[in-house]
Amino acid sequence: MSSQRIFVAGHHGMVGSAIVKQLAQNSDCEILTASKQELDLSDQLAVNHFFKQNQIDQIYLAAAKVGGIGANSQFPADFIYKNLMIQNNVIHAAHVNDVQKLLFLGSSCIYPKFAQQPIAETELLTGYLEPSNEPYAIAKIAGIKMCESYNRQYGRDYRSVMPTNLYGVNDNFHPVNSHVVPALIRRIHEAKQNHYNSVVIWGTGHPLREFLYVDDMAAACVYLQNLNLESYEQCVSPMMSHINIGTNEEVSISQLASVIKEIVGYTGQLIFDGTQPDGTPRKLLNSQKINNLGWKSKIGLKQGIKITYDWFLENENQLRQV
């Protein structure tokens, strides 16, 4: 079998960079990447030209505009427009240029706010979404349905994975636009540095969340992409083809903050501001499908946060601020 030429869209991001690292362990593939300066994925003509110029066998679509509750609330138009444009262009250009295999990365926010827990793939489109990130979620749902539609109409092998909350090396630690794990790491670390007596955290601390270390996510993506089509199709359907990726474990935000506080070595108080939004009260994925296919997560929460905090300390002055 000849070497596979694999394009990783979004290779500078946390997930994309982890996928590149995972793929690099395989000598039988050639990894193709392009920076934002080299290729604007929201430009349809540019994307199609790029695909015509490169003989691509597989695609990992990890490129997306992402952010936490604050960013999603402040920039809803950006989140729905940019994500729709990126995925529309990449998925359609893949088909037009006869790329048979593609893996689309979604998000667990695609599920209804009050979905039955733990959330199975069949919960998709059964209720109202969490309002704070609805535009982003709708874009991701559209991506799943695009993959399903190209499979049904053209016989493509476009798969979708829905990870739980991700964190890890190369995360975004921006003080406003980051997700909960990097946001808490940065805030608690700065409180320690500045000898603050307390740290104020948005919400009540009661919501339950599941967290997956990014290297586990990358391993799951490569595992599923390399799984033969017969095995994959045995656990999905043409109208419900996405697969959850999680740890099957959950913690409250207050418990998460306590773990980070311990790892950072902060001795002050954690104060929860109940006037700020909590988001979805609980979000635990049912990962039975991927577990039945032979994959399980390996990196526990404390280990993952320790690795992430060590990386944060090493890269504090050069962190992405986007």
- 3-state SS assignment for residue 189: helix
Average pLDDT for residues 20-44, to the nearest whole number? 93
Q: Is 179 annotated as a binding residue?
A: yes
Average pLDDT for residues 172-186, to the nearest whole number? 85
Per-residue pLDDT band for 313 (boundaries 50, 70, 90) equals very high
Distance CA 10, CA 188 (A): 29
| Tokens matching residue 114 | 């009050």
Q: Which domain holds residue 249?
A: 4-318
Position 250 pLDDT exceeds 70: yes
Position 24 pLDDT exceeds 60: yes
Q: Among the options 111, 136, 167, 213, which is catalytic?
A: 136
Position 3 pLDDT exceeds 80: yes
| CA distances, 215 to each of 66, 106, 111, 128, 168 (Å) | 18, 16, 24, 31, 8
52-56, 141-145, 178-182: least confidently modelled range:
178-182
Non-local CB neighbours of 189 within 8 Å, separated by 6+ positions: 264, 266, 309, 312
* Whether 158 is catalytic: no
Nearest to 170 by CA among 223, 220, 215: 215
Q: Is 11 annotated as a binding residue?
A: yes
Instruction: Give pLDDT, residue 175.
Output: 76
| Pairing verdict, β 251-252 and 208-209 | antiparallel
Q: Is 10 annotated as a binding residue?
A: yes
Q: Is 274 annotated as a binding residue?
A: no
Per-residue pLDDT band for 314 (boundaries 50, 70, 90) equals very high
How many distinct helices (H) and strands (E) make up the chain? 11, 13
Q: Is 163 annotated as a binding residue?
A: yes
Provide the number of structural domains found in the chain: 1
Question: pTM for this structure?
Answer: 0.92
DSSP helix, strand, coil percent of the chain (3-state; round to 5): 45, 15, 40
Per-residue pLDDT band for 319 (boundaries 50, 70, 90) equals low
Position 322 pLDDT exceeds 50: no
Average pLDDT for residues 108-129, to the nearest whole number? 94
62-76, 94-108, 180-194, 281-295: least confidently modelled range:
62-76
Instruction: Give pLDDT, residue 133.
Output: 87
| CA distances, 19 to each of 14, 22, 119, 237 (Å) | 9, 5, 25, 26
CATH number of residue 290's parent domain: 3.40.50.720
Query: Which 8-state DSSP code applies to residue 116?
Result: P
Per-residue pLDDT band for 2 (boundaries 50, 70, 90) equals low
